[in-house]
Amino acid sequence: MDLAAGAPLLRVTGPGGDVLPWALVRAPVVTHAQHTRLSELAGEGCRFAGATSHGGFPGAGYRDERDYGLLCEAWLHCFRHPERFLPPYGPRALVSESDFTDPLRVDPALAAVPPPELLADVVHVSGSEPWRQRAKNWPLAARCLSRLARETGLRILVVDAPPGAGAIDGVRATGPLPWRRLLDVLAHARCLFVPAVEDASPRVLAEALCLDVPVVVNRAILGGWHYVNPFTGVFFDTEDDAVAAVERVLARGQRPRAWFTAHHGPFRAGARVLGLLRGLDASLPDLTHVLLTADRGSPRRPASATH
C-alpha cells in the first residue's frame, strides 16, 4: 500500500490501480490547499468515506470545525467503542489501514541479520517528533523499559529514541532506521513492546506480526487492539504488570504470522472495504477487493499515524 505519510486523503483503487470514484478522509482537512483538493474531488463526482488514522479522529478534540459526519457516507474505523468517536449514522466496518500490511513484502525470510548493536529481545519504536512521542506514549514506555532492564536480563532497544530523553540504564537506543532495516531489527527480536494509547493505525504492530514476532500492547490503545489474542501477544495495563506481560509472551512461543495472514492483508482488508462501499454504490465494477493509495493531488500535512 503506497501511502504518503500524513496525507489526509486516500484514493480507493482496483487491484490493478484503476482509480474508483471514492476517496477516504483519514485526518482533518486543515490547509487551504487541502480544502481546495477536497472540493476538486467532489466536483469530479467523487464520494467520501472516513478512515480513522489520526488519533481519535473524527471524535471531539481530533478534528477541525468541518462536519465529517455529513461529508463521509461510511466509516472504516479502529475503535473498540466506535460510538464514542464516530457519527451516529451511516455504515461502518472495523478495518484499519494497517490491516493492508502485505505479508509477502513483510516476510521474515527477507530479513537480513542486523549489526550486533541492533539485536534485541524487546524492541520499542518511538519517534523524535513531539506528536509521535505522544502517539507512542514515550513517558510510559520509559518507565516500563526501565523496569524491564532492572528486573530482567533481556536486551532492550528503542528505535527512533526521543532526543533529550536521557539514557535509561540497561536500554540501548538508536535513531530512526530505514524501513527495511527496521524490519530486519523486528524480525530478529523476540517481542515488540507497544505502550501507545493515541495510535489509531499502528503499522509497526501489523509488521511485527507478519515477521512472526509477538507483541505486548497497552490495553488502552485506540487502534491495533484487534490484533492481540492468544495467538499473537498479550495486553498490559500499567508499568506494574508490563514486566510480567513481556515474560509471559516470551514463554509462550507464539507464531503470529500465520494468524495475521489468515485474517488480514491486502486481499482480505480490501474485500471488507469493497463490501462496505458496494452497499452504498452498486455501480462499482465487479472486483474481488480494492486497495488504498495516497491521493497524489493532495498536499501533505504533518503526519500523525505511522509506525
Range of the domain at 174: 108-260
Instruction: Kindly give the pairing relationship between strand 156-159 and strand 171-174.
Output: parallel
Residue 300 lies in a domain: no
Residue 279 lies in a domain: yes
Same domain for 182 and 45 = no
Same domain for 284 and 183 = no
Within 8 A by CB and 6+ apart from 276, the residues are 49, 74, 76, 91, 92, 93, 95
Q: 18: closest CA among 270, 268, 294, 290?
A: 290
Residue 230 lies in a domain: yes
Condensed to tens digits (0 to 9), the pLDDT of residues 174-216 reads 999 999 999 999 999 999 999 999 888 789 999 999 999 999 9
Same domain for 204 and 161 = yes
Residue 185 lies in a domain: yes
In the structure, how many helices (H) and strands (E) does the chain have?
A: 9, 12
Task: For the chain, give the longest Cα–Cα distance.
Answer: 60
Same domain for 226 and 170 = yes
Same domain for 125 and 78 = no
- For residue 304, pLDDT over 60 is answered with no
Lowest average pLDDT, out of 189-203, 229-243, 272-286, goes to: 189-203
Predicted local distance difference test score (pLDDT) of residue 131: 76
Same domain for 168 and 114 = yes
Same domain for 247 and 276 = no
Within 8 A by CB and 6+ apart from 72, the residues are 25, 48, 49, 50, 58, 87, 90
Residues 282/5, Cβ–Cβ less than 8 Å: no
Same domain for 276 and 242 = no
Same domain for 119 and 250 = yes
Count Cα neighbours of 110 within 13 Å in the Cβ-side half-sphere.
14
Predicted local distance difference test score (pLDDT) of residue 129: 81
Count of domains observed in the chain:
2
Condensed to tens digits (0 to 9), the pLDDT of residues 122-157 reads 999 998 887 777 889 999 999 999 999 999 999 999
Same domain for 76 and 213 = no
Residue 4 lies in a domain: no
What is the pTM assigned to this prediction?
A: 0.92
